[in-house]
Amino acid sequence: MAALTRERILACAVAMADRDGLDAVTLRRIAGELGVHVTSLYNHVPTRDAITDGIVDSLLDQAHLPTTPVEWEEWVRTFFEGMGAMATQHPGAFAALSRRPVQGAHAAASFEVALAAFGKAGLSPVDSYNAVKATALTALMVGLEMSAAARGEMLETAIEDLPEESFPQFHALEGHDATAAWSFTLETLVAGLRVQISERTAD
């Protein structure tokens, strides 16, 4: 039997979340899948929150986010791309990113790079944080919709149930590509950040 390691435990947790949903991931179920007693996990992941933190850490690592200096726009676009890839590849585990804040030096490394990038662009530390937070929140919401789509659960308004005479604008959307909103959202965010940076560095 392979040695019990944190990496092996988290790989099992990610696979279980993708298969059965994040809420199905428990220490007892992980122990059962790995064929060990639940107490054997405690030295590596002592709590359910530690499992969730580990899933977040694992997904951020797989997203290949920048950890060396980049310009702010490159970071934003790379972050969106990485989150989108994780949402598609791990549609169940991705929900962990909405459950727990980033914990630990490894997971926080790319966010430190982002804060520096926005600071280099002229934003204050607080505004740099706000820019990173806005990016993370937007990418997370897009990612959650992408993960739902990857599970075959794309959430859309049932336009056909709305009377056309009262909702002509909705009916004009019939047949549109719902996923186009994802790239539109990214471009809107980038454009908005450009304006914020320009206004705050004008003086």
Any idea of the CA torsion for 74, 75, 78, 82, to the nearest 10 degrees? 180
Residue type, 43: N
pLDDT confidence of residue 203:
66
**Residues of the chain where predicted confidence (pLDDT) is lower than 50:** none
Asked whether residue 54 is assigned to any structural domain, the reply reads yes
Q: In this structure, what CATH number is given to the domain that contains residue 28?
A: 1.10.357.10
Judge contact between 92 and 151, C-beta under 8 A.
yes
Asked whether residue 162 is assigned to any structural domain, the reply reads no
Domain that holds residue 24: 6-155+175-200
Asked whether residue 160 is assigned to any structural domain, the reply reads no
pTM surpassing 0.85? yes
Asked whether residue 56 is assigned to any structural domain, the reply reads yes
Please tell me the distance from the alpha carbon of residue 139 to that of residue 159, in angstroms, as a whole number.
26
pLDDT confidence of residue 1:
59
> In this structure, what token pair is assigned to residue 32?
């059962």
State the CB neighbour count (10 A cutoff) for residue 51: 27
pLDDT confidence of residue 26:
94
- Please tell me the total count of domains within the chain: 1
